[in-house]
Structure 1
Amino acid sequence: MLLHWLPLTLLCALALASADAATKAWLQEFSARELAVVRLGLTGLLLSPLLWDLPPLTGLPAAFWWWLAALVPLELLAMLFYMKSIRDHPLSLTLPYLAFTPVFVMGIAWVLLGEAVTLQGAGGVFLVVAGAWLLNGERAQAQDWRSWGEPFRAVVEQPGSRMMLATAAIFALTSTMGKGAMQYMAPEQFGPFYFGVLGLTVTLVFAVPRPGMFRKLARRPWAVLTVAALMGIMAYTHFLAIAQVEVAYMIAVKRVSLLFGILYGALLFRETGLIRRLPAGALMVAGVALILL
């Protein structure tokens, strides 16, 4: 009997935030491609023992492989954006924009899977957008109404925020498409299989042409293994949870990771502005909670 999707999703969120913080703390000198090898390649290797009872792949329909073929390049692109964003920019200014993922998911899942949200869910979308506005609220002045649009322009002007917003949109696509592929494979098998495919692809594309990358990763074995293990927990719980509920609702709760990320940023990296940014992040989480309800 699978656990209920809510505790699975909260565990998924905590594992993701912890992997982000560990990446920033221990692997700061790694490039985005090297981090992709750690977070996808090594994670796929760690999850591979779970594939021992995988059914014959020849029995899978062509639709499954079409889903997979579309997913892999999108996932790699999102990971490169994601790694560069959290490596080079403050977590508190980048991670909150991941809250936009369920906003994008609502439209994408409706088109691809026929999943719809309620009017109350639309209210949650408004709260998410309001939280994003408050995140950069110091750039707006009450006495000048024209400045109220500054936070939205900041999304375009700040590279870290812009990359993370693009990542959120891509993750909305991959989360929805992943559930589409799971129509043909059980979630406890699809997660390890999918990350195995991702891991093999990213290793062949990024690591094999650069043998020195393996030596660099081997110099930080415990840090690399810890990040990969946390990503493995995230991946496994993600697919177990998303199989049990609408994509928008699961992704909304998963974005609680942004609050964990803001706290990590303040406690571990001494990032300033916690008091100002934490309420904005809380408002974004309130929005995704409204979508959940």
Structure 2
Amino acid sequence: MTWLIFGILTAFFEAIKDVFSKQNLKKNDEYVVAWSLASFSAVFLTPLLFFIKIPQLNPQLNPQFWIALSIGGSINAVTAILYIKAIKLSDLSLTVPLVALTPLFMLLTSPLIVGEYPNFFDYIGIFLIVTGSYLLNIKEKSQGYLAPFKALLHQPGPKLMLIVAFLWSITSNFDKIGVQNSSPIFWLFSLFTTMSLLLLPVLLNKTPNPSRKIMQQLPMLATMGFVNALGVIFQMQALTMTLVVQVIAVKRTSVLMGVLFGHFIFKEKDIQQRLLGSAIMIVGVFFITL
């Protein structure tokens, strides 16, 4: 059960990363935070390259690695901006739980990409995840039974996070392909370096004098990248030990931590309904792992 320990550590550092991301957004825009997240993650992963065997990088010998990197890097660059913007526009306790929908979407994407198929427990998990997402906005029920779902689709933060959850259901599968055709550390370094390069022109175009802003908030931005690097290292190690959907399912327990951090650190409201909804979603996620 080593993969389970790695999965729980992934969830913990994921939640801490969200807190630092939200804090950084107080003085920076989403483009600075997204680029810094990718870039500093790559920086902190670089020393680990000296302790691993660098895999063969000849494209003719390892085409799957390059395909995974091209697709995964491009999609993750987009999701980095969308994710940071989502937590900027709305409460952590409302947006972060929606990433628990990733395993739900993976029931569609995993069979197509890596040949992993759902079972009976997966469908129970689907029901619980949908129920939990409904409860996140249960206060809207007075406007109609479908109002909680409509609220998620109309509020800017949750709407962006739904897109992120779907895109992550795709990239998680390419993470596994990338790891299988290289190594966890080398894949992560390659992925975040690619994201950093792709996000750089966006940063330069969208943010005036970004270098000055980054230097002013360097300790906080660097810490965010360091925490993220720790989390993804544990995630990629876990991916080498079990199914993609199981790793991502355990990782999504970070949403419970995110709801609590949102309440105690950022003083967000409606904690009871969001905590209940998140907990039910997590139970659904674990049914998917059975």
TM over 0.5: yes
2:70 is matched with which residue?
Answer: 69
Matched, 1:54 2:54: yes
Q: Which sections of structure 1, spanning at least 5 residues, go unmatched?
A: none
Counterpart CA distance in 2 for 1:21 and 1:11 is: 16
Q: Could you give the per-residue CA deviations for residues 230-267 of structure 1, whole angstroms, max 9, x where no partner exists?
A: 11112211111122111111111111111110000001
How many pairs align? 287
2:12 is matched with which residue?
Answer: 14
Counterpart CA distance in 2 for 1:120 and 1:95 is: 24
Give the CA deviation at 1:38: 1.1
Specify whether residues 63 and 264 from structure 1 end up closer, same or farther in structure 2 by C-alpha distance, changes over 3 A only: same
Q: Which sections of structure 2, spanning at least 5 residues, go unmatched?
A: none
Counterpart CA distance in 2 for 1:244 and 1:176 is: 14
**1:1-293 equivalence runs, <5 A:** 4-52=2-50, 53-58=53-58, 60-141=61-142, 147-203=144-200, 205-207=202-204, 212-293=209-290
Counterpart CA distance in 2 for 1:244 and 1:122 is: 24
Counterpart CA distance in 2 for 1:209 and 1:20 is: 22
Specify whether residues 49 and 195 from structure 1 end up closer, same or farther in structure 2 by C-alpha distance, changes over 3 A only: same
**RMSD over equivalenced CA pairs, Å:** 1.9
Moved more, 23-32 or 75-84: 23-32
TM-score (norm 2): 0.93
Counterpart CA distance in 2 for 1:77 and 1:26 is: 19
Q: Could you give the per-residue CA deviations for residues 21-51 of structure 1, whole angstroms, max 9, x where no partner exists?
A: 1121244221111111111011111111122
Give the CA deviation at 1:205: 4.8
Partner-residue secondary structure (3-state), 1:57: coil
The code of the aligned residue for 2:54 comes to L
The code of the aligned residue for 1:173 comes to I
TM-score (norm 1): 0.92
Counterpart CA distance in 1 for 2:129 and 2:163 is: 16
Q: Which runs of at least 4 in structure 1 moved beyond 3 Å after TM superposition? A: 207-211
Taking only the aligned residue pairs, the percentage that are identical comes to 29
Counterpart CA distance in 2 for 1:79 and 1:140 is: 32
Moved more, 213-222 or 180-189: 180-189
Give the CA deviation at 1:208: 9.1
Conserved 8 A contact 1:71-1:174: yes
Partner-residue secondary structure (3-state), 2:180: coil
